Amino acid sequence: MIPESKYEAVIGLEIHVQLQTLSKAFSSDSIEYGALPNTQVSPISLGHPGTLPMHNTAAVHKAIMIGLALNSEITRFNRYARKNYFYADLPKGYQITQFDTPLCVGGNVDIKLSNGEEKSIRLTRIHMEEDTGKSMHDQDMYDTLVDYNRAGTALIEIVSEPDIRTGDEAYAFVSEIRRLVRYLDICDGNMEEGSLRCDANVSIRPIGSKTFGTKVEVKNMNSISNVKRAIDFEIRRQAEILDSAGLVIGETRGFNGLAGTTFSLRKKEGVTDYRYFPEPDLPPTVITDEMLVSVRASMPELPRVMFSRFTANYGLSDYDASVLIDDKHSAQYFEKIVSHTQQYKQAANWVTGPIRGYLNENALGIEEFVLTPTQIADILSLIEEGIINHTSATQQLFPKLLDTPNKMPRELVDELGLTTVKDSSFIEDLIRDVLGNFPDKVQEYKNGKVGLIGLFVGEVMKKSQGKADPKSTNELVRKILDEA
């Protein structure tokens, strides 16, 4: 937010998404992450003369998928273009991209802000292109070292309209794109490793003004929260300049994550002349009706569809459903549990509660979780049948199961003797013990401090080592106290 709030920010985002194909966009070398430098290259990706690029079917299909998911219009007649500039990580001296016929035109990203507000951000375009190699400037005193493993990796660039107004909206926009590319399985969305990258164009103007202020491009934000931080900082910086009657300079700025500030990378001297022209090495790609039908058919369920299904079919609350679908693998895990049980709400609670808690503590993803959905479903039926209570399920059975993940919960309950005791004489004895230990509290209870019942029940539960059923214990405690 702009502190003085006499300005309004106008923000457009450009997101580069590396497509998770096996081979590169225009050549057959692998794109596997983390390979030794310059081992995944080819005469094509190294830009040798006389080589001819051939476009990867999977790259085209995945690019169409994101366009369909974002309601874009898919361009049927696709031309490729050369964007010309000289830099060592671009071996050909040009990048193959699309200029006047982007694959996807228009579309929108619906975002939900932390305050619950919803907004639709329009897209300008999504086009197909290729990635560059990686330059390392700080490894050697005199030379820059270049690794071309990444050169030629299939990319799409998603360009938003300048509809974004705050760092929070930008955060929600990038989060939504990341979730979507993960659902579609077209990118792992890892901003630290650079498979998803975001640049922001930020300008501010007095509220009510219709003209745009001078635009600053911010780069190098390697996490979604840094996108928000960089934009928030940039808005403040520009507001301070305008407040002191200064002029914002059109430039490219980097983001320093440690300091939380942006710094000038280079001034924009006029418009860079990339001299785009049609790529003569690649005839146009025509997207046929059949291709669209088959891509659409191969698309996994989208989060918003899953959300409606979870609320309608499983009766989950909007909140539970949205927490579950936030992560595709959690949603899938939940669905596997409920294929074994009708305890939908409880299944959702387990996935977002104890399971997520354990995974977060151990920095694991649910796809690495040792327990199967069948085991969780088994725990749910044990609770439903009244064989164990919820407390001992989460506090005793669950940790034990994590230690011995090859056992079924039902076996473990027997082995550990976790079965809830409903035998009232056993519990009554425990209750009398507890009440005997707290004569003054019993007196206070009788004098009207009825809230103390929780203390007595808690003590009984402790003594029973979680085996007592909390509900019947509660009733019994009340009954005995009233009789006494």
Partner 1 sequence: MRITEDKVRELAKLARLQFEGEELTKMQADLENILVMCEKLNGVDTEGKEPLIYMGNQQTTLREDRVIQEISKEEALKNAPKKDSDFFRVPKVIDGNE
Binding footprint of partner 1 on the chain (CB under 8 A): 21-23, 28-30, 36-43, 46, 54-60, 79, 84-90, 135-137, 140, 142-148, 252, 265-266, 272-273, 275, 278, 282-286
Q: How far is the CB of 265 from partner 1 (least distance, A)?
A: 6
Residue 16 · residue 29 · CB < 8 Å: no
Whose Cβ is closer to partner 1: residue 57's or residue 395's? 57
Report yes or no: 215 and 201 within 8 Å, Cβ to Cβ: yes
Cα(316)–Cα(331) distance, rounded to whole angstroms?
Answer: 12
Going by C-alpha positions, the residue among 226, 118, 112 that lies closest to residue 179 is 112
Closer to partner 1 by Cβ: residue 136 or 484: 136
HSE-CB for 339 with a 13 A CA cutoff: 9
The CB-of-157 to partner 1 minimum distance in angstroms stands at 15
| CA 4 to mean position of chain CA atoms | 32
Task: Tell me how far apart the alpha carbons of residues 18 and 197 are, in angstroms, rounded to a whole number.
Answer: 9
Nearer to partner 1, 145 or 387 (CB): 145
Q: How far is the CB of 282 from partner 1 (least distance, A)?
A: 6
By beta-carbon proximity to partner 1, the closer residue of 32 and 368 is 32
Q: Which is nearer to partner 1, 169 or 279 (CB)?
A: 279
Beta carbons within 8 Å of 389's beta carbon, 6+ residues apart: 383, 420, 466, 468, 469, 470
Q: Tell me which residue of 225, 226, 200 sits closest to 215, measured CA to CA.
A: 200
- The helix/strand/coil state of 367 is helix
Least spacing, CB of residue 256 vs partner 1, in Å: 16
Shortest distance, position 56 Cβ to partner 1, whole Å: 5
- At its nearest, how many Å lie between partner 1 and the CB of residue 312? 37
C-beta separation of 334 from 345 below 8 A: no
Cβ 151 to partner 1 shortest distance, Å: 11
Look up residue 116 and give its two tokens: 């619950």
Contact assessment for residue 431 and residue 476, using Cβ atoms and an 8 Å cutoff: yes
CB 58 within 8 A of CB 68: no
Do residues 219 and 18 lie in contact, with contact meaning Cβ atoms separated by under 8 Å?
no
Using the minimum distance from each CB to partner 1, give the nearer residue, 175 or 285.
285
Strand segments, DSSP code E, in 228-313 are 251-256, 261-267, 277-278, 285-286
* Closer Cβ to partner 1, 292 or 480, answer by number: 292
Min dist CB 15 to partner 1, Å, is: 18
Which C-beta is closer to partner 1: that of 16 or that of 79?
Answer: 79
Distance in Å, CB of 354 to partner 1, minimum: 40
Nearer to partner 1, 42 or 238 (CB): 42
Element of type H or E holding 302: none
d(CA 246, CA 268): 18
Residue 300 DSSP symbol: P
